[in-house]
Amino acid sequence: MGASAGETRTLELSFPEEYGAQELAGRRATFEISVKEVKRKELPELGEDFAIDAGFDDIEELREDIRSRLLAADEARVESEFRQAALDAAVAGASVPVTGELVAARAREMWERMIHSLSHRGISREAYLQITGRQEDEILEEMRPEADLALRREAVLTAVVAAEGIAPSEEELLEVLQPTAAREGIEAQTLLEDLRKAGRLEEVREDLAARQAIELIAAAAKPIALARAEAREKLWTPEKGAAEDAGEPAGAVEAGGLWTPDR
């Protein structure tokens, strides 16, 4: 605030908690800002002329279009979160042997992928470590739980794909490739053949099979109302009773089955 064109300022700031790059969210950083020019945005008046210029008959049609698109985006987000929750519920109930070596290797892979992504934003490995004030070993250790969960998810999805005989057809591959092909200005069939020649088609097929497995899991999951979920959290379970008898917090005993009068 108050800076003029030509000024340079150094600011101590924090990345927002909801920052797009999760690895930087909430982190403190020093920014050196050079002000090139100062502009003021002047929005047009919201009225019938504006709506017509935007390709609508009137302002109400514009409002309805915006409302529909916002609603569709919200619904897509909720559906995505539900699919992820259903998958994680399946993972929690599965027995997946994961070794420490596998977890460490996946954590290292995640770290290197993150650094590669940051490099495209102009942030080097050294700069990131300086911004966060941590050592690489600390970061790798923090990534272990996420790496462990990722491996378990993959194992469950691989098992579901095998058990259900999921094998995406050529038509399904063409459908999933259509948006990318449209962006690149080519036919989906051409993109498919290019991927086949490059030896990458099987990778796309496996990714689509995993997505179809998630859809299968989500279809079998039964959503419940928020009020019911909150009530379920308050119900007595044998584990909670054991913890209370031992004078421990309820979460100290590993969670198991829910006690009900009939089973």
Choice between 118 and 24, residue whose per-residue pLDDT is larger: 118
Q: What is the pLDDT of residues 174-229, one digit of tens each?
A: 999 999 999 989 998 999 899 889 999 899 999 999 999 999 999 998 888 878 87
Domains in the chain: boundaries: 1-40, 167-213
By C-alpha distance, which of 52, 14, 44 is closest to 31?
A: 14
Q: E strands along 25-172, which residues? A: 28-34
Average pLDDT value for residue range 78-97: 90
**pTM for the whole structure:** 0.65
Write the CA distances from 105 to 9, 99, 138, integer angstroms.
Answer: 42, 10, 15
